[in-house]
Amino acid sequence: MTATAIHRTDLLPTAMNAGKAAAVRELLRAWRRAAQAVAADQWTRFFRDGGFRKNLSAAQEAAVPGVAAAKAEVGAARLQMVRYQVVGTLSSFLANRQNEFAELVTQHEAFDDRTRHMLHVVNKAEAWFDLHRDVFMPDTGEPVPDAVRDLARRIMRHVLGRHRRPSFARVNMVIDRRQATLAEARCASAFPLWLRLGTLERGRRIEIPLRTHPYFERRAGQRCQTVQVNEDRDGRISVGVVTDVSAPFAAQRAAYTPLRDDLAIDFGLSTLIATDAGDRMGRGALEHLERLDRRITRIARHRQKAGLKVRSRRYDQAVQQLRGWLRTEINRILNRLVYLHRPAHLTVERLDFRMPGLSRRMNRLLTNCGRGVLRAKLQDLEERYGVTHTEVNAAYSSQACSHCGWVERANRRSQSEFRCRCCGRRIHADVNAARNLGARRSCPVMGNPRRRRRAVLGEALRRFAERKPCHPPEAARRSPGRGSRGEPGGPGSRDGPGITLPSAHPQHLVARSATQ
- Among the listed residues 12, 15, 2, 13, the one whose alpha carbon sits nearest the alpha carbon of residue 223: 12
Q: How many angstroms separate the CA atoms of 233 and 120, rounded?
A: 41
Q: Residue 187: pLDDT above 90?
A: no
Q: Residue 326: pLDDT above 60?
A: yes
Q: Residue 96: pLDDT above 70?
A: yes
For residues 475-490, average pLDDT: 40
Q: Residue 388: pLDDT above 60?
A: yes
Dump pLDDT digits (tens) for 337-382: 999 999 999 999 876 666 666 788 887 887 777 778 888 999 999 9
Going 219 to 24 to 182 to 171, the CA torsion angle's sign is positive
Dump pLDDT digits (tens) for 8-21: 999 999 999 999 99
Residue type for position 353: F
Note whether 282 and 453 are within 8 A (CB).
no
- What is the rounded average pLDDT for all residues in the chain? 85
- Neighbouring residues of 462: CB distance < 8 A, sequence distance ≥ 6: none
Quote the DSSP letter at residue 492: T
Domain boundaries, the chain: 7-15+176-248, 28-161, 258-389, 409-421+435-514
Vertex 131: Cα angle to 125 and 132 (nearest 5): 95
Q: How confident is the model at residue 469 (pLDDT cuts 50, 70, 90)?
A: low
Q: Residue 501: pLDDT above 50?
A: no
| Residue 480: per-residue pLDDT | 39
| Residue 67: per-residue pLDDT | 92
- The long-range contacts involving 440-449, CB below 8 angstroms and separated by at least 24 positions, are 440/347, 440/392, 440/393, 440/397, 441/262, 441/264, 441/347, 441/390, 441/392, 446/392, 446/393, 446/395, 447/390, 447/392, 447/393, 448/392, 448/393, 449/350, 449/391, 449/392, 449/393, 449/394
- Among the listed residues 327, 470, 324, 459, the one whose alpha carbon sits nearest the alpha carbon of residue 393: 459
| Residue 509: per-residue pLDDT | 43
Q: How confident is the model at residue 42 (pLDDT cuts 50, 70, 90)?
A: very high
Q: Residue 303: pLDDT above 70?
A: yes
For residues 458-486, average pLDDT: 59
235 SS3 class: coil
- Neighbouring residues of 302: CB distance < 8 A, sequence distance ≥ 6: none
| Residue 328: per-residue pLDDT | 92
For residues 422-444, average pLDDT: 89
Q: Residue 288: pLDDT above 90?
A: no
Q: Residue 215: pLDDT above 60?
A: yes
| Residue 8: per-residue pLDDT | 93
- Among the listed residues 397, 461, 378, the one whose alpha carbon sits nearest the alpha carbon of residue 266: 397
117 SS3 class: helix
Q: How many angstroms separate the CA atoms of 248 and 359, rounded?
A: 43
Instruction: Please give the share of the chain, as a percent, with pLDDT higher than 70.
Output: 89
- The long-range contacts involving 332-339, CB below 8 angstroms and separated by at least 24 positions, are 333/272, 333/273, 333/281, 333/282, 334/273, 334/377, 334/378, 334/381, 336/281, 337/263, 337/265, 337/273, 337/275, 337/279, 337/281, 338/381, 338/385, 338/387
Dump pLDDT digits (tens) for 122-135: 999 999 988 788 89
